[in-house]
Structure 1
Amino acid sequence: MDYEIMNLGDVTLQSGVTLPSAFLAYKTYGKLNEQKDNVIVYPTAFGDQHVQNEWLIGSGMALDPEKYFIIVPNLLGNGLSSSPSNTPPPFDRAHFPQVTIYDNVRLQHRLVTEKFGIQKIALVVGWSMGGIQAFQWGATYPEMVERIAPFGGIAKPWPHTFVVLDGMRAALLAAVGFDASKLNQLTSADMRAVGRVYAGWGLSHSFYREELYRQLGFDSLESFVVGVWEHSFMKMDPHNVLTMLWTGQHADISANPSYNGDFDKALKSITALACIMPGSTDLFCTADDNEYEANLIPNAVFNPIESNWGHFAGRGINSADNKFIDDNLKRLLALRTNG
């Protein structure tokens, strides 16, 4: 096992449900300095685990473990932290309670403060649903977070984003005839259709038109869809996926007692220096949505990743996109804060 576990005890979720014996899986890179001020929190995205974040961590990079103490907490529902696949009855599989981004960040705050005694975070960074966690950290703990850098991530699921996630959910529910009582019959094989649905949203029109999948070693569209989308989704547990989809669909940074649904107020309350990097061709976490958000955050720069890789400009696959993200993180970390 290449990660650690923090046992959280019985946790009352935002829904009011108590999840017994909850736990967060996390991995750290680098060393915490004596001042405890060299901290970067880098949450995982939908379907990802800490390993998928490691492309952005390395010597000489912005997230350099020789300079920073980098904490990668795994999302609830991703199979490593408390999830439908690893929770005993009565909260196993389809019975797992609904968890929010706010729940995730509150528990990550416990990890950071209780486990490590950290009071200041230099940067919260993340892609996709990791990006929304960066926004949530900035809105929920503004006195603690000095910088945020969401890339390919928005601060709430705008209506179109909600519909895209709903299409993925519907592809899975169709396997049991949309009968909620049969959810426990779902298997990983039923994830094949979900992968095909997401294939149309994860990458851009120009990515497919220009056959950029050939750069990844695939000689046809079909071999790419099967080799990447079907295979990666069929490795996932369907109940974990349903949990993460629900989290994504209800991931509004203002949907909590601090802001009571006032989205603009939540954005204006983020005092951190912010670098917001959408993929210029992202089809469902769009640059337009991010631009609206950036305009309300007092200390934000809006810096789109000019890329044909759509949402996956932030996935660590295309070297030009990776360099753009890393360069922007270096610039952001070099800026002085009032903290």
Structure 2
Amino acid sequence: MDYQVFELGDVRLQGGATLRDAKLAYQTYGELNADRSNAIVYPTWYSGQHYDNEWLIGEGMALDPSRYFIIVPNMLGNGLSSSPSNTPPPHDRARFPRVTVHDNVRLQHRLVTEHLGIERLELVTGWSMGAAQTYQWALSHPEVVRRILPFCGAAKTSVHNIVFLEGVKAALTADAAWRDGWYDTQPTTGLRAMARVYAGWGFSQQFYRERIFESELDYGSLEDFLVGYWEALFLGRDANNLLAMLWTWQNADLGATPGCAGIEEALAGIRAAAVIMPAQQDLYFPPEDNEWEVARVPGAELRVIPGAWGHFAGAGMNPVDTAFIDGALRELLAREV
């Protein structure tokens, strides 16, 4: 097992359910320095695991493990941390409790402070659902977080994004093999259908119009890309895990933080130095949504990732976007705060 597990015991979730014997899987990169002042948190994203974040970590990069201690906590529901697929009855599979972004960050805070003994984070950053967790860290723990760089994500899931996810969910659960979550084998027809719905949203119209999947990703045809990339991606996931994280995504709302009176108050409460980075043609989290947020976060900067890769500009799939994100992280980490 190339990751570690923090045992949290029984955890009362934001919605009132109790997650018994909760587990938070995580991996670290680099060494914590003597005064414990070089830590960074980089949460995972929808369906992703810590391995999937490693493209942004490396020698000579902003997230350099020779300089920083980088903690990658796995989201609840992703198959490594407590999830429908690995939780014993009675909270297994379709009975796994509803988990919020706030729940994820509360457990990550326990990992950082109780387990690792860290009181300050130089940076929290993340892609997509990792961005939602980044916002939550900044609001919930202003005394800990010095800087944030959420990319290709939002503080609150928009209505249009919720509708997109309803299409994804409907494609998966229409498979008779799903059996309301009590399947014996994975509903592969539903997973393949879900993948094809997702394919229309992950990349931009320009990406498909210019057939970048052929020229830069070396797929031989559109069908080759849909099967070889998208279907392969989702066939490696557990259906109940995907649905649990989908609920978390749909219900992401920084304004629902306990003690907050809505999203505007929540954004105004962020004190960390913030660079908020959408992708130019992201169909889930368009730049105008982040513009609205930036106008409400004190001192925040909007920096748009240019190009045709849409939401997946933040997935480490092409060197131009990776360099753009890495450069912004480097500048933010060099900033005195």
Tell me how far apart the structure 1 counterparts of residues 197 and 313 of structure 2 sit (CA, whole Å). Answer: 19
Given that residues 176 and 183 in structure 1 are in contact (C-alpha distance below 8 angstroms), is that contact kept between their aligned partners in structure 2? Answer: no
Tell me how far apart the structure 1 counterparts of residues 180 and 197 of structure 2 sit (CA, whole Å). Answer: 22
After superposing the two structures, state which structure 1 stretch, 164-173 or 84-93, moved more: 164-173
Q: Which residue of 1 aligns with 2:236?
A: 235
Taking the TM superposition and a 5 Å limit, the aligned residue runs for 1:83-102 are: 83-102=83-102
2:85 paired with 1:81: no
Tell me how far apart the structure 2 counterparts of residues 207 and 125 of structure 1 sit (CA, whole Å). Answer: 26
Q: Which residue of 2 aligns with 1:156?
A: 156
After superposing the two structures, state which structure 1 stretch, 184-193 or 284-293, moved more: 184-193
CA offset at residue 188 of structure 1? 4.4
CA offset at residue 331 of structure 1? 0.3
Taking the TM superposition and a 5 Å limit, the aligned residue runs for 1:1-339 are: 1-176=1-176, 182-185=180-183, 187-189=186-188, 190-214=190-214, 215-260=216-261, 262-337=262-337
User: Any unmatched runs of 5+ in structure 1?
Assistant: none
Give me the TM-score of the superposition, normalised by structure 1: 0.97
Give me the TM-score of the superposition, normalised by structure 2: 0.97
The amino acid across from 2:182 in the alignment is N
CA offset at residue 284 of structure 1? 1.2
Give 3-state SS (helix, strand or coil) of 2:22's partner: strand
After superposing the two structures, state which structure 1 stretch, 242-251 or 31-40, moved more: 31-40
Tell me how far apart the structure 2 counterparts of residues 312 and 183 of structure 1 sit (CA, whole Å). Answer: 29
Tell me how far apart the structure 1 counterparts of residues 167 and 288 of structure 2 sit (CA, whole Å). Answer: 22
The amino acid across from 2:195 in the alignment is G
Tell me how far apart the structure 2 counterparts of residues 8 and 73 of structure 1 sit (CA, whole Å). Answer: 13
The amino acid across from 2:119 in the alignment is Q
Deviations 1:195-231 (A, max 9, x none): 0000000000000000000111111111101111111
Give 3-state SS (helix, strand or coil) of 2:175's partner: helix
Structure 1 stretches of 4+ moved >4 Å: none
Provide the aligned C-alpha RMSD in A.
1.2
Tell me how far apart the structure 1 counterparts of residues 249 and 53 of structure 2 sit (CA, whole Å). Answer: 18
User: Any unmatched runs of 5+ in structure 2?
Assistant: none
Given that residues 155 and 252 in structure 2 are in contact (C-alpha distance below 8 angstroms), is that contact kept between their aligned partners in structure 1? Answer: yes
CA offset at residue 182 of structure 1? 3.0
Given that residues 188 and 235 in structure 1 are in contact (C-alpha distance below 8 angstroms), is that contact kept between their aligned partners in structure 2? Answer: no
Tell me how far apart the structure 2 counterparts of residues 224 and 265 of structure 1 sit (CA, whole Å). Answer: 43
CA offset at residue 183 of structure 1? 2.4
CA offset at residue 116 of structure 1? 1.2
Tell me how far apart the structure 1 counterparts of residues 197 and 250 of structure 2 sit (CA, whole Å). Answer: 16
* Seq. identity, %: 54
Give 3-state SS (helix, strand or coil) of 1:281's partner: coil
Tell me how far apart the structure 2 counterparts of residues 192 and 294 of structure 1 sit (CA, whole Å). Answer: 37
Tell me how far apart the structure 2 counterparts of residues 315 and 188 of structure 1 sit (CA, whole Å). Answer: 26
CA offset at residue 256 of structure 1? 2.5
Given that residues 140 and 258 in structure 1 are in contact (C-alpha distance below 8 angstroms), is that contact kept between their aligned partners in structure 2? Answer: no
Tell me how far apart the structure 1 counterparts of residues 277 and 102 of structure 2 sit (CA, whole Å). Answer: 22
